[in-house]
Amino acid sequence: MQIMYLDKKEIKTVLPDLYGIMAENGCRMSRELWLSEVGSALEKENRQLLLLKKEERILGFFMYYLRGECLVAEELQIVKAYQRTGLYFALCRYLARNFEQIKRVEAFAEKENLYSQKLMEKLGMRKTEEEGFFHFYGDAESLRRHFTK
């Protein structure tokens, strides 16, 4: 499995595949709206997208941005057939090793996404309720220790 940055010149060609993963995982946003919104967001310099790939197949993706010493996780999606196979752990280990300057982590989960909520709580992240979703906050060093044992 490879973890690699999306070349921003390839955004338009990769977005339909990424939406396919989102749709398989229950995305309620229309394809057109998602492609437009995410395409626009990724054109911004501070927005980044990591692809989780096996050979040439995209198995998942992680979209984030940095705000000072904080990594803000916007979206993490993994193809259903590859969920709970260690891809999430591999991504977190990659982030722990390659983002040493990060002090804090923020993430979001829809209220219906109980699995993500439970996972972030298990990692010791604090949760606040917002309209339609939960906002999670965590200390990057404790997360780093968890994923680099």
Is the pLDDT at 54 greater than 80, yes or no? Answer: yes
SS3 66: strand
The whole-angstrom separation of Cα 25 and Cα 52 is 16
What is the per-residue pLDDT across 13-40, written as a single tens digit (0 to 9) for each?
999 999 999 999 988 889 999 989 998 9
Percent of the chain with pLDDT over 70: 100
DSSP, res 7: P
* Residue spans per domain, the chain: 2-147
What is the per-residue pLDDT across 59-104, written as a single tens digit (0 to 9) for each?
999 999 999 999 999 999 999 999 999 999 999 999 999 999 999 9
Alpha-carbon torsion, ordered 39, 41, 45, 49, to 10 deg: -70
CATH superfamily of 2-147: Gcn5-related N-acetyltransferase (GNAT) (3.40.630.30)
